[in-house]
């Protein structure tokens, strides 16, 4: 199984400041045949289900604010919130779909 490790486990960011979350996979999730990184990011607010933010490592889901951006390739990825808003307080998860059975998630990063 591909192990996804996020860091930090939590971070405190002032409103309007940048938040950076890192995700590292135990093996590359870059598929050479299509040159795509098989990685997604989710946001989960308390008491709510996860919400898809980004797929293919850097493609924003429809309706996601452009202050959210994803980057990285291979085994190292980053989710950046350019200017934190109050409504962005949540836990963020990365997920790989390179090896689909099983799909695996990072342990989560709490942004407060």
Partner 1 sequence: EVQLVEFGGGLTQPGESLRLSCAASGFSVSDNYMNWIRQAPGKGLEWVSILYSAGSTYYTDSVKGRFTISRDNSKNTVYLQMTRLRAEDTAVYYCARGGNWFDSWGQGTPVTVSS
Query: At its nearest, how many Å lie between partner 1 and the CB of residue 54?
Result: 9
Cβ nearer to partner 1, comparing 1 with 17 = 1
Query: At its nearest, how many Å lie between partner 1 and the CB of residue 58?
Result: 13
The contact set with partner 1 (CB under 8 A) reads 38, 40, 42, 48-52, 55, 61, 93, 95, 97, 100-108
Cβ nearer to partner 1, comparing 15 with 47 = 47
Cβ nearer to partner 1, comparing 37 with 75 = 37
b/e burial code for range 31-66 (CB count within 10 A of at least 16 → b):
eeeeebbbbbbbbeeeeeebeebbbebbebeeebee
What residues contact 36, with CB distance under 8 A and at least 6 apart?
Answer: 30, 56, 57
Cβ nearer to partner 1, comparing 68 with 93 = 93
**16/81 Cα distance (integer angstroms):** 9
- Number of continuous H segments (helices) and E segments (strands) in the chain: 0, 13
Query: At its nearest, how many Å lie between partner 1 and the CB of residue 16?
Result: 28
């Amino acid at each position: 199984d591909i192990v996804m490790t996020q860091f930090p486990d939590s971070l405190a960011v002032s409103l309007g400041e940048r938040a950076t979350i890192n995700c590292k996979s135990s093996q590359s999730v870059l598929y050479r045949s299509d040159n795509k990184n098989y990685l997604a990011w989710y946001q989960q607010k308390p008491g709510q289900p996860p919400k898809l933010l980004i797929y293919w490592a850097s493609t924003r889901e429809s309706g996601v604010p452009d202050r959210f951006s994803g980057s990285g390739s291979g085994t190292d990825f980053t989710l950046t919130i350019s200017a934190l808003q109050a409504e962005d307080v949540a836990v963020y998860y990365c997920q790989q779909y390179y090896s689909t059975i099983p799909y695996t998630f990072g342990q989560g990063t709490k942004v407060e």
